[in-house]
Structure 1
Amino acid sequence: MENERRTRVILLACGSFNPITNMHLRMFELARDYLEDTGRYEVVQGILSAVGDGYKKQGLIEAFHRVKMARLATENSDWITVDAWESSQPEWVETAKVIRHHYSELTEAKQVGDDVDTVKYAKKRRIEGNYVESASDHNKKEATQLMLLCGADVLESFGIPNLWKEEDIAEIVGRFGLVCITRCGADPQKFIHRSDMLWKHRKNIHVVPEWVANEISATHVRRALRRGQSVRYLLPDNVLCYIHDNQLYSAESEQNNAGVVLAPLQKHAGDPAI
Protein backbone atom coordinates (compact mmCIF):
# COMPACT_ATOMS: atom_id res chain seq x y z
CA MET A 1 0.00 0.00 0.00
CA GLU A 2 2.85 2.38 0.80
CA ASN A 3 4.37 2.07 -2.70
CA GLU A 4 0.99 2.70 -4.32
CA ARG A 5 0.91 6.16 -2.74
CA ARG A 6 4.29 7.02 -4.23
CA THR A 7 4.87 8.43 -7.71
CA ARG A 8 6.74 5.93 -9.82
CA VAL A 9 9.81 7.47 -11.47
CA ILE A 10 11.97 6.56 -14.44
CA LEU A 11 15.36 8.30 -14.47
CA LEU A 12 16.80 9.19 -17.87
CA ALA A 13 20.48 10.17 -18.22
CA CYS A 14 21.63 11.63 -21.54
CA GLY A 15 25.29 12.19 -22.28
CA SER A 16 28.37 11.28 -24.27
CA PHE A 17 29.47 8.43 -21.98
CA ASN A 18 32.85 8.68 -23.66
CA PRO A 19 33.61 6.34 -21.95
CA ILE A 20 31.09 5.46 -19.27
CA THR A 21 32.63 5.61 -15.78
CA ASN A 22 31.70 4.36 -12.33
CA MET A 23 30.52 7.87 -11.48
CA HIS A 24 27.92 7.75 -14.25
CA LEU A 25 26.52 4.62 -12.62
CA ARG A 26 26.74 6.10 -9.12
CA MET A 27 24.54 8.99 -10.22
CA PHE A 28 21.65 6.59 -10.64
CA GLU A 29 22.13 5.05 -7.21
CA LEU A 30 22.44 8.45 -5.51
CA ALA A 31 19.33 9.75 -7.27
CA ARG A 32 17.27 6.69 -6.38
CA ASP A 33 18.26 6.84 -2.71
CA TYR A 34 17.47 10.54 -2.51
CA LEU A 35 14.09 10.36 -4.23
CA GLU A 36 12.92 7.32 -2.31
CA ASP A 37 14.06 8.79 1.01
CA THR A 38 11.57 11.62 0.48
CA GLY A 39 8.78 9.05 0.79
CA ARG A 40 7.13 10.54 -2.31
CA TYR A 41 8.73 8.48 -5.08
CA GLU A 42 9.49 4.92 -6.10
CA VAL A 43 12.26 4.71 -8.71
CA VAL A 44 11.46 1.79 -10.99
CA GLN A 45 13.94 2.17 -13.84
CA GLY A 46 17.02 4.00 -15.01
CA ILE A 47 17.80 4.58 -18.70
CA LEU A 48 21.17 5.50 -20.19
CA SER A 49 20.96 7.28 -23.54
CA ALA A 50 24.20 8.04 -25.36
CA VAL A 51 24.38 11.02 -27.70
CA GLY A 52 24.78 10.32 -31.40
CA ASP A 53 27.87 10.95 -33.51
CA GLY A 54 26.20 14.05 -34.91
CA TYR A 55 26.87 15.88 -31.64
CA LYS A 56 30.37 16.61 -33.01
CA LYS A 57 32.14 16.88 -29.66
CA GLN A 58 35.91 16.68 -29.87
CA GLY A 59 37.27 13.26 -28.95
CA LEU A 60 33.87 11.60 -29.34
CA ILE A 61 34.31 8.01 -30.55
CA GLU A 62 31.68 6.12 -32.52
CA ALA A 63 28.30 5.69 -30.86
CA PHE A 64 28.46 1.94 -31.48
CA HIS A 65 31.37 1.61 -29.07
CA ARG A 66 29.88 3.95 -26.46
CA VAL A 67 26.58 2.07 -26.41
CA LYS A 68 28.36 -1.27 -26.20
CA MET A 69 30.43 -0.06 -23.23
CA ALA A 70 27.31 1.26 -21.51
CA ARG A 71 25.62 -2.11 -21.93
CA LEU A 72 28.66 -3.88 -20.51
CA ALA A 73 28.70 -1.48 -17.56
CA THR A 74 25.03 -2.10 -16.73
CA GLU A 75 24.79 -5.82 -17.43
CA ASN A 76 24.81 -6.61 -13.69
CA SER A 77 22.23 -3.96 -12.81
CA ASP A 78 18.66 -5.08 -12.20
CA TRP A 79 17.17 -1.67 -12.94
CA ILE A 80 19.46 0.39 -15.21
CA THR A 81 19.08 -0.21 -18.96
CA VAL A 82 20.63 1.25 -22.10
CA ASP A 83 18.59 2.67 -24.96
CA ALA A 84 20.19 3.17 -28.39
CA TRP A 85 17.48 5.31 -30.03
CA GLU A 86 19.27 8.65 -29.55
CA SER A 87 22.67 7.30 -30.58
CA SER A 88 21.25 5.77 -33.76
CA GLN A 89 19.86 9.04 -35.14
CA PRO A 90 21.79 10.38 -38.16
CA GLU A 91 21.80 13.91 -36.76
CA TRP A 92 22.11 15.33 -33.25
CA VAL A 93 18.83 15.30 -31.31
CA GLU A 94 17.99 17.90 -28.67
CA THR A 95 17.70 16.49 -25.15
CA ALA A 96 14.12 17.72 -24.88
CA LYS A 97 13.22 15.64 -27.95
CA VAL A 98 14.94 12.60 -26.47
CA ILE A 99 12.85 12.98 -23.32
CA ARG A 100 9.70 13.36 -25.40
CA HIS A 101 10.59 10.17 -27.26
CA HIS A 102 10.91 8.20 -24.04
CA TYR A 103 7.76 9.76 -22.63
CA SER A 104 5.94 8.68 -25.79
CA GLU A 105 7.33 5.16 -25.33
CA LEU A 106 6.04 5.20 -21.76
CA THR A 107 2.62 6.39 -22.89
CA GLU A 108 2.41 3.71 -25.56
CA ALA A 109 3.46 1.11 -23.03
CA LYS A 110 0.44 2.01 -20.91
CA GLN A 111 -1.83 1.32 -23.87
CA VAL A 112 -0.37 -2.04 -24.88
CA GLY A 113 0.21 -3.41 -21.40
CA ASP A 114 3.99 -3.02 -21.37
CA ASP A 115 5.60 -2.02 -18.08
CA VAL A 116 8.91 -1.77 -16.25
CA ASP A 117 9.95 -4.29 -13.64
CA THR A 118 10.71 -2.81 -10.23
CA VAL A 119 13.83 -3.67 -8.27
CA LYS A 120 11.94 -6.03 -5.99
CA TYR A 121 11.50 -8.45 -8.91
CA ALA A 122 15.32 -8.72 -9.16
CA LYS A 123 15.02 -9.09 -12.91
CA LYS A 124 16.62 -7.07 -15.66
CA ARG A 125 14.08 -5.72 -18.10
CA ARG A 126 15.14 -4.72 -21.54
CA ILE A 127 13.08 -2.00 -23.12
CA GLU A 128 11.67 -4.17 -25.85
CA GLY A 129 10.32 -6.80 -23.40
CA ASN A 130 6.60 -7.23 -22.77
CA TYR A 131 4.51 -8.99 -20.17
CA VAL A 132 0.83 -9.25 -19.30
CA GLU A 133 0.01 -6.84 -16.52
CA SER A 134 -2.59 -7.04 -13.80
CA ALA A 135 -5.18 -4.32 -13.20
CA SER A 136 -3.27 -3.08 -10.15
CA ASP A 137 -0.10 -2.79 -12.26
CA HIS A 138 -1.96 -0.68 -14.81
CA ASN A 139 -3.28 1.69 -12.16
CA LYS A 140 0.19 2.22 -10.73
CA LYS A 141 1.58 3.05 -14.19
CA GLU A 142 -0.71 6.03 -14.56
CA ALA A 143 1.42 7.96 -12.06
CA THR A 144 4.79 7.12 -13.62
CA GLN A 145 6.98 10.22 -14.08
CA LEU A 146 10.03 10.60 -16.32
CA MET A 147 12.86 12.75 -14.92
CA LEU A 148 16.13 13.84 -16.47
CA LEU A 149 19.17 12.83 -14.40
CA CYS A 150 22.33 14.91 -14.73
CA GLY A 151 25.36 16.35 -12.98
CA ALA A 152 25.71 19.93 -11.78
CA ASP A 153 27.78 20.75 -14.87
CA VAL A 154 24.79 20.04 -17.11
CA LEU A 155 22.52 22.24 -15.00
CA GLU A 156 25.03 25.09 -15.19
CA SER A 157 25.38 24.59 -18.95
CA PHE A 158 21.83 25.94 -19.23
CA GLY A 159 23.48 29.35 -18.91
CA ILE A 160 25.82 28.91 -21.91
CA PRO A 161 24.56 31.00 -24.84
CA ASN A 162 23.15 28.98 -27.77
CA LEU A 163 23.79 25.61 -26.12
CA TRP A 164 20.15 25.18 -25.06
CA LYS A 165 16.88 26.66 -26.28
CA GLU A 166 14.97 28.41 -23.51
CA GLU A 167 11.76 26.61 -24.38
CA ASP A 168 13.58 23.27 -24.08
CA ILE A 169 14.88 24.14 -20.62
CA ALA A 170 11.39 25.21 -19.57
CA GLU A 171 9.94 21.95 -20.87
CA ILE A 172 12.58 19.77 -19.19
CA VAL A 173 12.28 21.32 -15.74
CA GLY A 174 8.65 22.39 -15.92
CA ARG A 175 6.98 19.40 -17.53
CA PHE A 176 9.26 16.49 -16.64
CA GLY A 177 11.57 17.40 -13.77
CA LEU A 178 15.29 17.30 -13.14
CA VAL A 179 17.48 15.39 -10.69
CA CYS A 180 20.89 17.05 -10.33
CA ILE A 181 23.88 15.43 -8.60
CA THR A 182 26.25 17.94 -7.01
CA ARG A 183 30.01 18.02 -7.54
CA CYS A 184 32.94 19.83 -5.96
CA GLY A 185 33.19 23.47 -6.96
CA ALA A 186 29.57 23.71 -8.13
CA ASP A 187 26.64 25.33 -6.37
CA PRO A 188 23.43 24.28 -8.14
CA GLN A 189 21.22 26.06 -5.63
CA LYS A 190 22.95 29.38 -6.31
CA PHE A 191 22.61 28.83 -10.06
CA ILE A 192 18.90 28.05 -9.65
CA HIS A 193 18.46 31.19 -7.54
CA ARG A 194 20.07 33.35 -10.23
CA SER A 195 17.87 32.01 -13.03
CA ASP A 196 14.28 33.28 -13.14
CA MET A 197 13.21 30.28 -15.22
CA LEU A 198 14.81 27.68 -12.96
CA TRP A 199 13.54 29.48 -9.87
CA LYS A 200 10.01 29.36 -11.27
CA HIS A 201 10.26 25.57 -11.58
CA ARG A 202 12.49 24.99 -8.53
CA LYS A 203 10.05 22.50 -7.00
CA ASN A 204 10.66 20.23 -10.00
CA ILE A 205 14.45 20.33 -9.55
CA HIS A 206 15.89 17.87 -7.05
CA VAL A 207 19.45 18.70 -6.01
CA VAL A 208 21.16 15.59 -4.66
CA PRO A 209 24.28 16.09 -2.52
CA GLU A 210 27.19 13.71 -3.09
CA TRP A 211 28.82 13.46 0.33
CA VAL A 212 31.61 11.18 -0.88
CA ALA A 213 33.46 13.45 -3.28
CA ASN A 214 34.10 11.66 -6.55
CA GLU A 215 35.67 13.63 -9.36
CA ILE A 216 35.94 10.85 -11.93
CA SER A 217 35.85 12.50 -15.32
CA ALA A 218 35.61 10.83 -18.72
CA THR A 219 38.00 13.52 -19.98
CA HIS A 220 40.59 12.54 -17.37
CA VAL A 221 40.07 8.86 -18.16
CA ARG A 222 40.72 9.46 -21.87
CA ARG A 223 43.84 11.47 -21.07
CA ALA A 224 45.21 8.70 -18.87
CA LEU A 225 44.47 6.09 -21.54
CA ARG A 226 46.31 8.14 -24.17
CA ARG A 227 49.32 8.29 -21.89
CA GLY A 228 49.30 4.59 -21.11
CA GLN A 229 48.36 5.15 -17.47
CA SER A 230 46.09 2.90 -15.42
CA VAL A 231 42.41 3.75 -15.14
CA ARG A 232 41.43 0.60 -13.32
CA TYR A 233 38.71 1.09 -10.66
CA LEU A 234 37.57 4.29 -12.41
CA LEU A 235 35.33 2.31 -14.74
CA PRO A 236 33.99 -1.25 -14.79
CA ASP A 237 36.57 -3.93 -15.57
CA ASN A 238 34.60 -5.27 -18.54
CA VAL A 239 34.47 -1.75 -20.02
CA LEU A 240 38.22 -1.40 -19.56
CA CYS A 241 38.77 -4.75 -21.29
CA TYR A 242 36.58 -3.60 -24.19
CA ILE A 243 38.62 -0.41 -24.53
CA HIS A 244 41.88 -2.32 -24.63
CA ASP A 245 40.56 -5.02 -26.97
CA ASN A 246 39.34 -2.42 -29.45
CA GLN A 247 42.27 -0.04 -28.96
CA LEU A 248 40.01 2.91 -28.20
CA TYR A 249 41.06 6.37 -27.00
CA SER A 250 44.31 7.35 -28.62
CA ALA A 251 45.91 10.65 -29.54
CA GLU A 252 44.29 10.23 -32.96
CA SER A 253 40.78 9.62 -31.61
CA GLU A 254 41.04 12.70 -29.40
CA GLN A 255 41.31 14.74 -32.60
CA ASN A 256 37.89 13.53 -33.79
CA ASN A 257 35.79 16.62 -34.58
CA ALA A 258 38.72 18.93 -33.76
CA GLY A 259 37.87 22.40 -35.01
CA VAL A 260 34.23 21.48 -35.58
CA VAL A 261 31.57 23.61 -33.88
CA LEU A 262 29.41 21.63 -31.47
CA ALA A 263 26.09 20.66 -33.09
CA PRO A 264 23.79 22.62 -30.73
CA LEU A 265 25.92 25.76 -31.15
CA GLN A 266 25.69 25.36 -34.92
CA LYS A 267 21.94 24.88 -34.84
CA HIS A 268 20.93 27.41 -32.22
CA ALA A 269 23.26 30.23 -33.22
CA GLY A 270 21.25 30.66 -36.39
CA ASP A 271 17.87 30.21 -34.72
CA PRO A 272 16.03 33.56 -34.56
CA ALA A 273 14.15 32.34 -31.48
CA ILE A 274 17.35 32.18 -29.42
Structure 2
Amino acid sequence: MRFMASPRTMTNVVLLSCGSFNPITNMHLRMFELARDALHRTGILSVTKGIISPVNDDYKKLTTKTLVSGYHRVQMAKLATRTSDWVQISDWEVKQDLWTETLNVLKHTKEEVESEMKNEDFTVKLLCGGDLLESFAVPGLWNEQHMTSIICDYGLVVITRHGSDPERFIYESDLLTRYKNNILIVKEWISNDISSTKVRRALKRNESIKYVVPDPVIDYIKQNGLYKAQELCK
Protein backbone atom coordinates (compact mmCIF):
# COMPACT_ATOMS: atom_id res chain seq x y z
CA MET A 1 0.00 0.00 0.00
CA ARG A 2 1.35 3.43 -0.95
CA PHE A 3 0.94 6.35 1.39
CA MET A 4 0.60 9.73 -0.22
CA ALA A 5 2.26 12.65 1.53
CA SER A 6 -0.24 15.20 2.75
CA PRO A 7 0.00 18.49 0.88
CA ARG A 8 1.40 21.31 2.97
CA THR A 9 -1.11 23.91 4.06
CA MET A 10 -0.40 27.32 2.58
CA THR A 11 -0.69 30.41 4.75
CA ASN A 12 -1.69 33.68 3.10
CA VAL A 13 0.58 36.62 3.85
CA VAL A 14 -0.18 40.34 3.66
CA LEU A 15 2.92 42.53 3.54
CA LEU A 16 2.68 45.96 5.15
CA SER A 17 5.30 48.65 4.60
CA CYS A 18 5.20 51.81 6.71
CA GLY A 19 7.32 54.89 6.12
CA SER A 20 7.43 58.45 4.87
CA PHE A 21 7.55 57.59 1.13
CA ASN A 22 8.78 61.13 0.64
CA PRO A 23 8.73 60.52 -2.29
CA ILE A 24 8.16 56.86 -3.10
CA THR A 25 11.02 55.34 -5.14
CA ASN A 26 11.54 52.29 -7.32
CA MET A 27 13.38 50.65 -4.41
CA HIS A 28 10.25 50.85 -2.25
CA LEU A 29 8.40 48.93 -4.94
CA ARG A 30 11.28 46.52 -5.51
CA MET A 31 11.18 45.53 -1.83
CA PHE A 32 7.70 44.06 -2.29
CA GLU A 33 8.77 41.92 -5.24
CA LEU A 34 11.86 40.64 -3.41
CA ALA A 35 9.84 39.80 -0.32
CA ARG A 36 7.13 37.97 -2.27
CA ASP A 37 9.69 35.83 -4.09
CA ALA A 38 11.43 34.93 -0.83
CA LEU A 39 8.20 34.00 0.96
CA HIS A 40 6.97 31.93 -1.97
CA ARG A 41 10.25 29.99 -1.94
CA THR A 42 9.35 28.66 1.53
CA GLY A 43 6.63 26.57 -0.08
CA ILE A 44 4.21 27.27 2.77
CA LEU A 45 3.62 31.02 2.46
CA SER A 46 1.64 32.74 -0.28
CA VAL A 47 1.68 36.54 -0.55
CA THR A 48 -1.79 37.73 -1.49
CA LYS A 49 -1.47 41.46 -0.96
CA GLY A 50 1.02 44.24 -0.34
CA ILE A 51 0.05 47.47 1.42
CA ILE A 52 1.95 50.77 1.50
CA SER A 53 1.02 53.04 4.39
CA PRO A 54 2.54 56.54 4.26
CA VAL A 55 3.20 58.05 7.68
CA ASN A 56 1.03 60.77 9.22
CA ASP A 57 2.16 64.39 8.84
CA ASP A 58 2.52 64.57 12.62
CA TYR A 59 5.45 62.12 12.63
CA LYS A 60 7.94 63.89 14.90
CA LYS A 61 11.04 62.59 13.14
CA LEU A 62 10.06 64.07 9.79
CA THR A 63 7.94 67.14 10.52
CA THR A 64 10.33 69.40 8.64
CA LYS A 65 10.14 71.42 5.45
CA THR A 66 11.23 68.32 3.50
CA LEU A 67 8.13 66.28 4.40
CA VAL A 68 5.37 67.08 1.92
CA SER A 69 1.76 66.58 2.94
CA GLY A 70 0.30 63.13 3.35
CA TYR A 71 -2.15 63.89 0.56
CA HIS A 72 0.69 64.33 -1.95
CA ARG A 73 2.60 61.30 -0.67
CA VAL A 74 -0.49 59.12 -1.00
CA GLN A 75 -1.17 60.37 -4.52
CA MET A 76 2.43 59.70 -5.59
CA ALA A 77 2.28 56.21 -4.10
CA LYS A 78 -0.96 55.48 -5.97
CA LEU A 79 0.64 56.62 -9.23
CA ALA A 80 3.69 54.45 -8.57
CA THR A 81 1.63 51.31 -7.96
CA ARG A 82 -1.04 51.70 -10.62
CA THR A 83 0.59 48.95 -12.75
CA SER A 84 0.74 46.51 -9.83
CA ASP A 85 -2.00 43.92 -9.46
CA TRP A 86 -1.23 43.17 -5.81
CA VAL A 87 0.33 46.22 -4.09
CA GLN A 88 -2.12 48.88 -2.93
CA ILE A 89 -2.07 52.09 -0.90
CA SER A 90 -3.67 52.70 2.48
CA ASP A 91 -4.43 56.29 3.47
CA TRP A 92 -5.77 55.30 6.91
CA GLU A 93 -2.57 56.31 8.72
CA VAL A 94 -2.35 59.66 6.90
CA LYS A 95 -5.96 60.49 7.78
CA GLN A 96 -5.52 60.05 11.53
CA ASP A 97 -5.47 63.19 13.69
CA LEU A 98 -2.04 62.34 15.07
CA TRP A 99 0.91 60.10 14.30
CA THR A 100 0.04 56.43 14.74
CA GLU A 101 2.60 53.95 16.08
CA THR A 102 3.59 51.11 13.76
CA LEU A 103 2.07 48.43 15.99
CA ASN A 104 -1.32 50.15 15.78
CA VAL A 105 -1.06 50.35 11.99
CA LEU A 106 -0.40 46.59 11.95
CA LYS A 107 -3.42 45.97 14.19
CA HIS A 108 -5.66 48.09 11.96
CA THR A 109 -4.38 46.33 8.84
CA LYS A 110 -5.08 42.93 10.37
CA GLU A 111 -8.64 43.98 11.26
CA GLU A 112 -9.28 45.23 7.72
CA VAL A 113 -7.89 42.09 6.14
CA GLU A 114 -9.94 39.90 8.49
CA SER A 115 -13.12 41.57 7.27
CA GLU A 116 -12.08 40.97 3.65
CA MET A 117 -10.74 37.43 3.87
CA LYS A 118 -13.42 36.12 6.27
CA ASN A 119 -12.33 32.71 7.56
CA GLU A 120 -9.16 32.36 5.49
CA ASP A 121 -5.91 31.68 7.30
CA PHE A 122 -3.55 34.63 6.95
CA THR A 123 -0.81 36.59 8.65
CA VAL A 124 0.32 40.20 8.37
CA LYS A 125 4.06 40.86 8.27
CA LEU A 126 5.93 44.15 8.45
CA LEU A 127 8.13 44.69 5.39
CA CYS A 128 11.11 46.95 5.97
CA GLY A 129 14.71 47.72 5.11
CA GLY A 130 17.68 46.82 7.26
CA ASP A 131 17.87 50.40 8.51
CA LEU A 132 14.49 50.10 10.24
CA LEU A 133 15.61 46.92 11.98
CA GLU A 134 18.71 48.70 13.26
CA SER A 135 16.58 51.59 14.52
CA PHE A 136 15.29 49.20 17.20
CA ALA A 137 18.56 49.90 19.04
CA VAL A 138 18.07 53.68 19.14
CA PRO A 139 17.30 54.59 22.77
CA GLY A 140 13.77 55.89 23.25
CA LEU A 141 12.75 55.49 19.61
CA TRP A 142 10.73 52.29 20.03
CA ASN A 143 8.57 51.01 22.85
CA GLU A 144 10.09 47.63 23.81
CA GLN A 145 6.68 46.01 24.31
CA HIS A 146 5.69 47.23 20.86
CA MET A 147 8.89 45.81 19.34
CA THR A 148 8.20 42.45 20.96
CA SER A 149 4.60 42.40 19.72
CA ILE A 150 5.61 43.43 16.19
CA ILE A 151 8.08 40.56 15.96
CA CYS A 152 6.10 37.88 17.85
CA ASP A 153 2.53 38.58 16.76
CA TYR A 154 3.28 39.66 13.19
CA GLY A 155 6.87 39.09 12.07
CA LEU A 156 9.39 41.00 10.00
CA VAL A 157 10.57 40.64 6.42
CA VAL A 158 13.80 42.61 6.18
CA ILE A 159 15.38 43.58 2.87
CA THR A 160 19.11 44.12 3.11
CA ARG A 161 20.38 47.52 2.04
CA HIS A 162 23.79 48.77 1.03
CA GLY A 163 25.92 49.06 4.16
CA SER A 164 23.47 47.28 6.47
CA ASP A 165 24.17 43.97 8.20
CA PRO A 166 20.88 42.75 9.70
CA GLU A 167 22.22 39.29 10.60
CA ARG A 168 24.92 40.82 12.76
CA PHE A 169 22.46 43.25 14.30
CA ILE A 170 20.14 40.38 15.23
CA TYR A 171 23.07 38.54 16.82
CA GLU A 172 23.97 41.59 18.91
CA SER A 173 20.38 42.09 20.13
CA ASP A 174 19.03 39.76 22.83
CA LEU A 175 15.44 40.63 21.89
CA LEU A 176 15.89 39.96 18.18
CA THR A 177 17.91 36.79 18.80
CA ARG A 178 15.13 35.46 21.03
CA TYR A 179 12.59 35.81 18.23
CA LYS A 180 14.85 35.44 15.20
CA ASN A 181 12.63 32.71 13.73
CA ASN A 182 10.01 35.41 13.10
CA ILE A 183 12.46 37.54 11.12
CA LEU A 184 13.10 36.71 7.47
CA ILE A 185 16.20 38.35 5.99
CA VAL A 186 16.05 38.81 2.21
CA LYS A 187 19.26 39.67 0.41
CA GLU A 188 19.13 42.09 -2.51
CA TRP A 189 21.91 40.81 -4.72
CA ILE A 190 21.48 43.64 -7.22
CA SER A 191 23.09 46.45 -5.25
CA ASN A 192 20.70 49.37 -4.95
CA ASP A 193 21.29 52.41 -2.75
CA ILE A 194 18.24 54.44 -3.72
CA SER A 195 16.67 56.47 -0.93
CA SER A 196 14.07 59.22 -0.69
CA THR A 197 16.70 61.43 0.95
CA LYS A 198 18.93 61.18 -2.11
CA VAL A 199 15.98 61.83 -4.39
CA ARG A 200 15.13 65.02 -2.50
CA ARG A 201 18.77 66.09 -2.65
CA ALA A 202 18.88 65.56 -6.41
CA LEU A 203 15.68 67.58 -6.86
CA LYS A 204 17.05 70.38 -4.71
CA ARG A 205 20.08 70.51 -7.01
CA ASN A 206 17.87 70.35 -10.10
CA GLU A 207 19.33 66.95 -11.08
CA SER A 208 17.54 64.13 -12.89
CA ILE A 209 15.74 61.40 -10.93
CA LYS A 210 14.58 59.48 -13.99
CA TYR A 211 14.77 55.66 -13.60
CA VAL A 212 15.02 56.16 -9.83
CA VAL A 213 11.41 57.26 -9.32
CA PRO A 214 8.49 56.08 -11.52
CA ASP A 215 7.76 58.51 -14.37
CA PRO A 216 4.19 59.32 -13.23
CA VAL A 217 5.61 60.32 -9.83
CA ILE A 218 8.21 62.56 -11.48
CA ASP A 219 5.43 64.24 -13.47
CA TYR A 220 3.37 64.69 -10.30
CA ILE A 221 6.31 66.28 -8.46
CA LYS A 222 6.82 68.74 -11.32
CA GLN A 223 3.13 69.58 -11.71
CA ASN A 224 2.73 70.29 -8.00
CA GLY A 225 6.04 72.03 -7.44
CA LEU A 226 7.17 69.62 -4.70
CA TYR A 227 10.65 69.51 -3.17
CA LYS A 228 11.68 72.86 -4.64
CA ALA A 229 15.25 73.95 -4.12
CA GLN A 230 15.50 76.35 -1.20
CA GLU A 231 17.11 79.70 -1.75
CA LEU A 232 20.46 79.55 0.04
CA CYS A 233 21.29 83.23 0.04
CA LYS A 234 19.51 86.52 -0.69
Normalised to the residue count of structure 1, the TM-score between the two structures is: 0.79
Supply the distance in 2 between the matched residues of 1:31 and 1:209 (Cα, whole angstroms): 9
Which position in structure 1 is the counterpart of 2:81? 74
Question: Structure 1, unaligned stretches of length 5 or more?
Answer: 112-137, 254-274
Supply the distance in 2 between the matched residues of 1:200 and 1:51 (Cα, whole angstroms): 29
Partner of 1:148, secondary structure, is strand
CA distance change for structure 1 residues 37 and 11 in 2, over 3 Å: closer, same or farther? Answer: same
CA deviation digits over 1:211-257, x for unaligned, max 9?
0000001001001101111000001000000000001002459xxxx
1:195 alignment partner, one of 153, 159, 173: 173
CA deviation digits over 1:74-126, x for unaligned, max 9?
00100000000001111111000100111111223344xxxxxxxxxxxxxxx
CA deviation digits over 1:44-63, x for unaligned, max 9?
00000000100031311100
Which position in structure 2 is the counterpart of 1:92? 99
Partner of 1:53, secondary structure, is coil
Question: Does 1:232 find its partner at 2:210?
Answer: yes
1:185 alignment partner, one of 130, 150, 163: 163
1:8 alignment partner, one of 5, 9, 12: 12
Which position in structure 1 is the counterpart of 2:140? 162
1:104 alignment partner, one of 105, 111, 115: 111
Deviates more, 1:100-109 or 1:159-168: 100-109
Question: Does 1:26 find its partner at 2:35?
Answer: no
CA distance change for structure 1 residues 209 and 248 in 2, over 3 Å: closer, same or farther? Answer: same
Supply the distance in 2 between the matched residues of 1:74 and 1:170 (Cα, whole angstroms): 31
Q: How far apart are residue 3 of structure 1 and its match?
A: 8.8
Asked if 2 retains the 8 angstrom alpha-carbon contact of 1:184 and 1:213, the reply is yes
Question: Structure 2, unaligned stretches of length 5 or more?
Answer: 1-5
Which position in structure 2 is the counterpart of 1:122? none
Which position in structure 2 is the counterpart of 1:126? none
Amino acid at match of 2:107: R
Which position in structure 2 is the counterpart of 1:241? 219
Q: CA RMSD in A?
A: 1.6
Q: How far apart are residue 4 of structure 1 and its match?
A: 7.1
1:174 alignment partner, one of 152, 168, 176: 152
Q: How far apart are residue 175 of structure 1 and its match?
A: 0.6
CA deviation digits over 1:130-150, x for unaligned, max 9?
xxxxxxxx4xx1x21100000
Supply the distance in 1 between the matched residues of 2:117 and 2:25 (Cα, whole angstroms): 33
Asked if 1 retains the 8 angstrom alpha-carbon contact of 2:12 and 2:48, the reply is yes
CA distance change for structure 1 residues 242 and 197 in 2, over 3 Å: closer, same or farther? Answer: same
Supply the distance in 1 between the matched residues of 2:218 and 2:162 (Cα, whole angstroms): 26
Paired residues in the alignment total 223
Which position in structure 2 is the counterpart of 1:133? none
Partner of 2:58, secondary structure, is helix
CA deviation digits over 1:198-217, x for unaligned, max 9?
11110000000000000001
Supply the distance in 2 between the matched residues of 1:3 and 1:201 (Cα, whole angstroms): 28
Asked if 2 retains the 8 angstrom alpha-carbon contact of 1:3 and 1:42, the reply is no
